[in-house]
Structures are given as structure tokens and as C-alpha cells.
Amino acid sequence: MRARVFVTLKQSVFDPQGKTIADALHSLGYAGVEDVRQGKYFELDLATEEAAHARTLAAEVADKLLANPVIESYRIEVD
């Protein structure tokens, strides 16, 4: 199965890169883009056919390595 892990900075954490990208878009004329938050995206190929197991495994590696719980949170999709 494949798990997709989306890691993003928590809302309370300032994102200097996202702010810079938003500023760049504004200078390109995209005033309608109100804010940008940058994150990370991981695709995990997992040796299991059980969605529940895949989700558990993806959460375990996200907790252990992919995300830093001090500043980041994550969301998992499995298919």
C-alpha cells in the first residue's frame, strides 16, 4: 500500500519560507493569495495490504522521524 504523509508547520509557528513565497506572489500580482504555508510531502511504499496497518506504520514513522512535534503536525492518506 501507499501512504502519503503531509507535514506542515503548526498554525502557531511562523513560517518564514511561506511568508516569502506569499510576498513573491503578491509582487507577481496575485493579491488574492492571502497566505502561504509551506510543508513537506512524503510517499511511503509499504509492504502491507491492510489499510489500518499502513496507517499505523505511517503514523509511527511520522512521529519518530518525518515530523518534529515541537513545530509540526501531519496528516496521513492511505490507498
Between 71 and 76, whose beta carbon lies closer to other proteins? 71
- How far apart are CB 25 and other proteins at their closest, in Å? 15
Distances (CA, A) of 63 to 2, 26, 30, 54, 70: 18, 35, 36, 14, 11
Nearer to other proteins (CB atom), residue 20 or residue 51: 20
Which one, of 42, 38, 31, lies nearest residue 64 by Cα?
Answer: 42
Looking at the DSSP bridge assignments, the partners of residue 45 are 2
Nearer to other proteins, 40 or 75 (CB): 40
Binding site for other proteins (CB under 8 A): 9, 12-17, 20, 65-66, 68, 70-71
